[in-house]
Structure 1
Amino acid sequence: MKSILKLLPLFALAVLVFSCGQEDGIDAKKNKLAELKDQVSTLSDEIKNLEAELSKLDPEFAKTNKKSILITTAAARKGEFTHFVEVTGSVLSKKNVSISSETAGRILEVPAIEGMRVSKGQILARIDAESIERNIEEMQSSLDLATTIFQKQERLWNQKIGTEIQYLEAKNRKEGLEKSLAAMKTQLNKAYVKAPFSGTVESVQVRVGELVQPGVPMFQFVGESDLFIQADVSESFVGVLSKGDSVQVVFPSLNKTITTKVSAVGGIINPNNRTFSIEVFLPNLPDVKPNMISVLKIQDYSNKEGVIVPAHLILSDTQGDYLFIVENGTAKKKYVKRGLTFGDETEILEGLTGTETIVDKGFREVGDNFSVNIAQL
C-alpha cells in the first residue's frame, strides 16, 4: 500500500507532462493550417492575375481557359401548336323566372326564404282563400243533394216511371255542380304559390299580411337545369367563331375543366364595348350553379407543323428576339422570329428547325460562345 502511495506523485507528473505536450501539438497544427491558408490565398490571387494578363495577351489562351457554366437544357420540339383566346363567361339558366300569384288575396304564410333550394311543386307562399273554401263546402252540399236526386230519378227511369225530361234535368244539374266544384277546387289550389320546377329561390318580394294581385312578382326563381354560359367576345373574332365550335370551359372555383360547344352566336355588335355575345352549351354538372364565373378557352389558331419552345427562354436585344442553343459544349446565340404564345409555349416561325437543344436553367448567365457544362439531373 505504501509503495502505491509513493508512485502517485510520479503518475500525476507524467499526466501533466503528456497534457502539455498534447496542447503544444494542437497549437502547432493550428498555426501550420493558418500558414497554409495564407499561402493558398496568395497563390490564388497570383493565379487570377496571371490568367487575366495572359487572356489579354493571348486570345487562344482565353478561349481554352474560359470556365464552363453549369446549365440545364430543354428541347425545341416540332408538333401541333394551338392558340386559344380566353374570355370570362357567366353561368345562366334558361329557367330564370319571376313567379307571381294567379289570384288576389292576403298573404298568410311565406315558407320560402332567399337561397332556399326547393323541388317542383313545393309551396312557396299561401294566400287567404277562406271565401273559396266556404263556397266549396256549400257547393259540396248541393252536389250531394243533386247526386241523391239523380240516383233516385235514374232508378225510376230504369223502371219506366216518370218522364225522360225529369231524368235529364237531374243528370244535368248533378254534372253541372260537379264541374263547378272542380273549378272552385282549382281556384283554391291557386291560393298556394308553388315552385314550377326544381331550383333556387333567388329573392322574396312579399311578406306575410300583404295583399297581392295576379301578375305582381312575388319570387325570383332560378331552375337547376337548362344551364348555359354566356360571354362577350371581341368583334375581331367575327367569322372566327361559329355554332358548333369546340370550347374548353374552366371553372376556377371548382378547379374543373370540361370541353363543350358553342350553341349560339350573336348577330349584333354592342357599340359600347365592341363585343358580340355567344352562348355555350353546358351539360348537367352537380357542382355548377347559376351566376358562377367561368373562363372560356376558344381556339383561334392551329399549326400542326409548328416549332415550339418554352416562352420564358426567349430574350430580346436591339436586333430582335433570340435564345441560346447548345452546340458541341458551347452556347450559341440564335436569333428567331416568334409567333403566337399560349401559356408557356411560343411558336417559332423562323430561326429554328425543332431539333435544337436550348439552354434552360442558366440561360441568363451564358453568352454567345460561352463554354457550358450540362448538369446531369
Structure 2
Amino acid sequence: MQNDMPDAAQKAEELSRLIHKSKSGKKWRWIIGGIVLAAIAAAVFLKLTAEPEPRAWVTEPIKRGDLQLTATATGDLKPKRTVTIGAETSGQILSVEVKANDTVSKGQVLLRFDTEALDNKLLQANAALASARANVRGAQASLEAATLEHERTATLAEKDMASRSALDQRRAEKLRALATLEANRASVARAQAEVAAAKTQLSKATITSPIDGVVMTQNVEGGNTVASTLQTPELFVLAEDLSQMELHIEVDEADIGLVEPGQPATFNVDAWPGRAFEAEVSTVSLSPTVEQNVVTYTVELSVDNSERLLRPGMTATATITTGTNENVLLAPNAALRFSPPSEDGAEKSGGFSLSRRRPSPRAAKAAKSLWVLRDGEPTEVPVNIGPSDGRFTEVTPTEGAQLEDGAPIILREQKNKKGAPTPGSKKPSQASKTSDSEDPKKPTRPTKKTAEGDENGAQDRGPK
C-alpha cells in the first residue's frame, strides 16, 4: 500500500497540470486535491490500525553453572637463576674451554689466562718472604748479643767495676735489638701476605663454573686481552638448569587482589601455537610498577620445562585461575548487549505506541537488562552483572524482577535469508524509495548491488 502512494501522487500531479491548462482547471484542481488528500488520509489510517506482523527472535535458555574466574597477563620466560661470570684479573686469555649452549657442571674450567706474569709475581713474593725470614734470624742474634752485654755490665756495676752510664748504654742496645726483631717479624708477615695474594691472583687466572647449568652467552675468545682495572668485564652468562624456569608476568591492579601463591595457571607461546603449558603462581610482588599511569604488579609462575621446549626470553600469555563461582545464573554476553529495535511510532508520537512489548521498571542500581521472550513478546528483566569469563557473565535479578532457570533470553532478532529483518520491520531501502518518488523532476540514480546481488529499484520507478 505504501509503495502505491508515490505512483498515485505522480499521476494526480500530471492530471492536475493537464486540467490547469483548460478553462475550468481551477474547479478541477480543488476536486483532484480533495481526492488526493482523502487517499493519503486513508493510507495513514490503514497503516496505524493495521496489526503489526510478529517478529522472530534468536533465543537461548539461561542456565545455571560454575563460572571459572581468571586473570590474564603477558610476560616472558626466565631461568630460575642466572650468573654473570667476570674476570678479577687482567691479562691475555690463553684458552676458552666452553662455548654458548654448552652444559657445564660446578667447578668445570671455563677459561684460562696466560699466567707467565703471575708466576713471576709469585716468585718475587716468595723471595721477599725468604729475605724477611733471614732478617728475623739476624735480629734474633743481635738481640741475644745485646742481652749478654747488658747482663755482664750489670754484674760489673754491682761490684763498682762499671759505671752507671755504661749499664744504661747496654740496656738501650738490648731494646734496639728487640725492636729490630719485631720489625723483621712484621716484614715476614707482610711477605707472607704478598705470597698469598700472588697465589690468589694465580688461581683467578683459571675461571670455573659456580653452578650446574648452561652457557647462555660467551663474550670472549682465546687471545683477547682483558683489563679489569676499572670495571669487571663480563665473560660468560650462565643459567641454572633449564628444566625448571620462571614466567614473570605483569598483572593489572584490577586483578591482582584475586591472585595468590599456589593458584594454577596455563600459558601459550608463539613458538608452540595451540599448545597450553601448565604453571603455578609462586610469588606475588608487593611493589607496583607504574608505566604511563598504568599500575601493574609482577607475578612469578613456576614452570616445568622437563621437555626443554621453552627457552629464556619467550613471550607468553598466561591465564591464572583465581577461583570458581558455583551454581550461578550464566547469561551469554550477546544477550547483555541486545536491545529490541523501537517500533514505528514509539517515542515519536508523544507516548502513543502500537507495540505490545512489556517493559519492566529498571532498578536504580541495575547495570544491564536481559530481554526474556514471554508469550511471544520481549520482556525486559533488570539484572546486576558479576564476573565474566569472556563468553558468559554471572547475572542476578534485581529486587522485584523474576528470571527463571531455563527462561529463553533473546540474543538478537531473527533475520531472513537476504539479511533483512523478518516481516513487520521496516526495510532500510523503503525510505530512500519514497523520497525519490516525491519529486518527479528529481533525477534518480541506481545504487550499487548488495552482498546478495539485489539492486535498488528506484531508477525503474522514476519519472518516465
Q: Tell me the TM-score normalised to structure 2 length.
A: 0.46
* SS state at 1:243 partner: coil
- Cα displacement string for residues 327-354 of structure 1 (whole angstroms, at most 9, x for unaligned residues): 45x2414333222322122221216333
For the residues of structure 2 that align with 1:57 and 1:191, how far apart are their CA atoms?
99
> Pick from 274, 282, 304: which aligns with 1:263?
282
- Cα displacement string for residues 250-269 of structure 1 (whole angstroms, at most 9, x for unaligned residues): 33542332343221233444
- Cα displacement string for residues 162-207 of structure 1 (whole angstroms, at most 9, x for unaligned residues): xxxxxxxxxxxxxxxxxxxxxx9xx789636569434242362667
CA positional deviation for 1:96? 1.2
CA positional deviation for 1:304? 0.8
* SS state at 2:413 partner: coil
* SS state at 2:272 partner: coil
For the residues of structure 2 that align with 1:85 and 1:204, how far apart are their CA atoms?
40
Q: Does the alignment pair 1:83 with 2:69?
A: yes
> Pick from 309, 317, 322: which aligns with 1:287?
309
**Residue of structure 1 in register with 2:102 after alignment:** 118
> Pick from 381, 402, 409: which aligns with 1:335?
381
Check whether the contact 2:90–2:225 (CA below 8 A) recurs between aligned residues.
no
- Cα displacement string for residues 76-114 of structure 1 (whole angstroms, at most 9, x for unaligned residues): 22111122222222212122110134765312445766x
1:219 is matched by which residue type in structure 2? F
Report matched runs for 1:102-251 at 5 Å: 104-110=90-96, 116-121=100-105, 125-129=111-115, 191=206, 196-202=211-217, 204=219, 208-213=223-228, 216-223=233-240, 224-235=242-253, 240-251=258-269
**Residue of structure 2 in register with 1:156 after alignment:** none
Check whether the contact 2:280–2:302 (CA below 8 A) recurs between aligned residues.
yes
* SS state at 1:312 partner: helix
1:280 is matched by which residue type in structure 2? L
For the residues of structure 1 that align with 2:43 and 2:96, how far apart are their CA atoms?
91
> Pick from 297, 308, 324: which aligns with 2:319?
297
Distance verdict in 2 for CA 1:321–1:210, change over 3 Å: same
In the alignment of these two chains, the number of paired residues is: 265
* SS state at 1:353 partner: coil
2:249 is matched by which residue type in structure 1? A
Check whether the contact 2:68–2:325 (CA below 8 A) recurs between aligned residues.
yes
**Residue of structure 2 in register with 1:99 after alignment:** 85
Q: Does the alignment pair 1:358 with 2:409?
A: yes
For the residues of structure 1 that align with 2:82 and 2:319, how far apart are their CA atoms?
26
* SS state at 1:314 partner: helix
Q: Does the alignment pair 1:344 with 2:391?
A: yes
**Residue of structure 2 in register with 1:8 after alignment:** none
Q: Tell me the TM-score normalised to structure 1 length.
A: 0.55
Structure 2: any 5+ residue segments left out of the alignment? 9-39, 121-198, 343-361, 426-464
**Residue of structure 1 in register with 2:298 after alignment:** 277
* SS state at 2:276 partner: strand
Check whether the contact 2:60–2:409 (CA below 8 A) recurs between aligned residues.
yes
2:92 is matched by which residue type in structure 1? R
Check whether the contact 2:373–2:379 (CA below 8 A) recurs between aligned residues.
no
For the residues of structure 1 that align with 2:393 and 2:210, how far apart are their CA atoms?
52
Check whether the contact 2:104–2:212 (CA below 8 A) recurs between aligned residues.
yes
Check whether the contact 2:72–2:251 (CA below 8 A) recurs between aligned residues.
no
Check whether the contact 1:124–1:195 (CA below 8 A) recurs between aligned residues.
no
For the residues of structure 1 that align with 2:256 and 2:372, how far apart are their CA atoms?
40
The structure carrying a bigger strand percent of its residues is 1
> Pick from 307, 313, 317: which aligns with 2:335?
313
Structure with more contact order per residue of length (Cα contacts < 8 Å, sep ≥ 6): 1
